[in-house]
Amino acid sequence: MYPLFKRSKKAALLTTTLTVLLSVFGSTGAISVSEAKGANEQTSPVFQEASVHDPSVIKVDNTFYVFGSHLAAAKSTDLMSWNLIDSGVKDGNKLIPNVTEELKEALAWAQSDTLWAADVIQLEDGRFYMYYNACKGDSPRSALGVAVADNIEGPYKDEGILLKSGMWDEISEDGTIYDATKHPNVVDPDVFYDKNGKLWMVYGSYSGGIFILEMDPKTGKILPDQGYGEKLIGGNHSRIEGPYILYHPETDYYYMYLSYGGLDSVGGYNMRVVRSKNPDGPYLDAEGNDMTEVKADPSLPLFDDRSIEPFGVKLMGNFQFTREIGDPGSGSGLGYVSPGHNSAYYDEKTGKSFLIFHSRFPNQGEGHEIRVHEMYMNQDGWPVVAPYRYTDQEFKKNINANDVQGTYQIINHGKEITNAIKTPSKAVFDKKGKITGDVKGTWSLGKNGEAVVNVDGTQYKGVFSREWDSSKEQTVMTFTTLSNQGVALWGSRTEERKDKDVVAAVKKDLSIGDTTSVYQDLVLPVKASEDSTISWTSSNKEVVSNTGVVKRPIAGKGQATVQLVAKIQKGKVTGTKTFNVTVLPELTGPVIANYNFDDVQGTKVSDQSVNGLNGVLQGGATQLTSGKKGAALQFNGKDGYVQVPGLVTDAQDFTFAAWVKWNGGGDWQRIFDFGNGLGKHMFLTPSQHTGVLQFTIHNGVDQSLLSQAKLPQNEWTHVAVTLEGNTGTMYVNGQPVATNKEMTYNPKDLLANEAYLGKSRFAADPYFNGSLDEVSIYNQALSKEDIQSLFSK
């Protein structure tokens, strides 16, 4: 054993040995029928979110810290409420205040202005060692170094680069010519102690695979004569990255967590685990495969996922426990998209284990947040992950067959690397141990919540546990299990109600959105909670059909009013709900809105087009008498913006054009942001996190235009974006600076109900700091000549 301060990063060892059963099942919670009825009366856990990509955990005293990419870090005392410490590779970051100078060698080598996944550990001298890394991104040209601080929150001082990669046609760290199919990309470090106090670093992403090196515990640097170290897994550019190794004292295994696939919302990122009796391997999966041999097939196209996806124990990928209309709670259900690049933590006092990772979310684009889930060891010594995020609630009652029996939503995570979101099947667990429904089989309950689930000929082992479902605001019975093939099977029990209660709940919950100003086809649902049905009748089928198809009055003819009646049925019980719908006439184009800011009266910003889509001044947005052409509008960068009608997106082909004078400031300010919820939006930002002007339209997935530079500061610049068919083009001062021929989304499909000039629809983004003039929006794509004409006027 080694001193306690060496364990501050990962509490991986125990000074006394607990029984395996205590760790495996001792912390699961039971749910009784009486408790379920009163679940809504419980105090809801309090969560506070933060965004740290690739979070690596370290506990110092009573506080958990996570460090990640882009020099981001956050802290929490309960693994539920996170406070961001800082983020962004910019001077003034609390972690490394002079980062552009301090790490200039690494940034220069990597030809990058940002940093990737960091890892922090406290060594025997009591100081904190941050293992940073910078990567070019489109190649494995990377540098990995270490910086040291006396305080966990910095400031960190550089101790130098430890490894480099991507030196094409040159001698690499092992004395041979660098080969990206065999040599590593020196990023994603994790530094850890083994059970005997020896210090190691595991690292790597794609390229030649995941490697491990022995480290000097006194200096925190690599011991000599190891080159890149020993390879553990991967090669031939296989999409495997983010290694994290944690020793578990009760199974006496080292568990290496990995992420497969691509990290963005369409990359199919997923978390896997393999194990070994030794820190430097060999690591095996649940089927006994030696992971050293797992790599992409060089004869297949680059990033060959099919060759690697059968290997490794898949803990979690894309999934969603869907919520139907009338189900308890709100929203569309809980789920994750591309969860990954995790770290893990073992609490030696409680025997609890935690998985800490970042995740994106269904229909929310590239936004990501920290998530923490509890883990349990199953009967075969493999970790299984709780289906819902961790809370500090404790439930002590035993689990019995009555607690388990009921209807479940079941998620089978499979082994695929895919961007498809796994949605649930339904099955009934009866109290005699039989499973019927979409899947069939048997279940059994052992001591302390032990679960064995046999489904369609495959056995899964794990635990039944009580978890908090934040979408329903109540506790639910769940199970998390794993097959011998390394497939995770989860279940979440649903509430059972009488038919009349289902109909009443559907009626209360049923909505078809804002019906006061309809200009698009309506989505009229026909299915609802617990297999109830909905049928529709329209009072004027020429304007709105029974299936929701809308035919708008022609421009100038005025609006139309229609009544829609929904009939809800469950068994023999029925109910109705009526909606009054106002359908707007077609807009007159091609200019559907024009704001020259010459006519601002009080808070009213007049639309100079015939459509009258007037805006409203909010906060610190004021008229500037001398703009680019006549008056302009000035935004204070604190709370000023203009709210405009969502109808500004009523276009299939589209143009936004404006004169912009940007005063600089934080990334992700908005020139405009139009959308509906988190899943449908379009925006234009003068500078995003990599420092370029960006336009994005999102309807499930981002489709973007990125220039080569940020918008110029403190000068009037003409900016335009056009969408024509599947082609998007961005112009700066009359010249095209970006084109994308795969932009398939149309603005009108966003059904925008929020539309702002100068403000993001995401609360974390800063307000626009600058001025706008001559803002025009068209329902057609202007030609290059038209854009140049607007610029030259």
Q: Which of 54, 158, 773, 786 is catalytic?
A: 54
| pLDDT tens column, 349-377 | 999 999 999 999 998 888 899 999 999 99
| pLDDT tens column, 143-195 | 999 999 999 999 999 999 999 999 999 999 999 999 999 999 999 999 999 99
String of DSSP letters for 630-694: S-EEEEESSS-EEE--GGGG--SSEEEEEEEEE---STT--SEEEEETTTEEEEEES--TTS--E
Nearest to 513 by CA among 725, 697, 753: 753
Beta partners for residue 563, in sequence order: 580
Residue 54 is among the residues annotated as catalytic for this protein: yes
**DSSP label at residue 777:** E
* pLDDT recorded at residue 679: 84
**DSSP label at residue 717:** E
| pLDDT tens column, 576-630 | 999 999 999 999 999 999 999 999 999 999 999 999 999 999 999 999 999 999 9
Return the beta strands (E) in 301-419 as ranges: 313-316, 319-322, 333-346, 353-360, 369-377, 383-385, 406-412
pLDDT(733) > 70: yes
How much of the chain exceeds pLDDT 70, in percent?
Answer: 94
Q: Which two tokens stand for residue 308?
A: 């690697």
Give the per-residue SS3 of 169-212: CCECCCCCEECCCCCCCCCCCEEEECCCCCEEEEECECCCCEEE
With H, G, I as helix, E, B as strand and everything else as coil, classify residue 544. Answer: strand
Alpha-carbon distance of 425 to 436, in angstroms, equals 11
**DSSP label at residue 78:** S
pLDDT(8) > 80: no
Single-letter code of the amino acid located at 132:
Y
CB 140 within 8 A of CB 185: yes
pLDDT(23) > 90: no
Q: Which of 86, 102, 158, 241 is catalytic?
A: 241
| pLDDT tens column, 486-527 | 999 999 999 989 999 999 999 999 999 989 989 989 999 999
pLDDT(3) > 80: no
pLDDT(294) > 80: yes
pTM: 0.81
User: How many CB atoms sit inside 10 A of residue 54's CB?
Assistant: 28
Q: How confident is the model at residue 421 (pLDDT cuts 50, 70, 90)?
A: very high
Residue 241 has φ and ψ, to the nearest 5°, of -160, -175
269-278, 319-328, 395-404: which has the minimum mean pLDDT? 395-404
Q: How confident is the model at residue 689 (pLDDT cuts 50, 70, 90)?
A: confident
Residue 742 is among the residues annotated as catalytic for this protein: no
Q: How confident is the model at residue 301 (pLDDT cuts 50, 70, 90)?
A: confident
Beta partners for residue 359, in sequence order: 369
* pLDDT recorded at residue 396: 55
Rounded (to 5) percent helix, strand, coil in the chain: 10, 40, 50
Q: What mean pLDDT is predicted for residues 236-243?
A: 97
Q: Which two tokens stand for residue 535?
A: 């049928």
Alpha-carbon distance of 299 to 32, in angstroms, equals 56
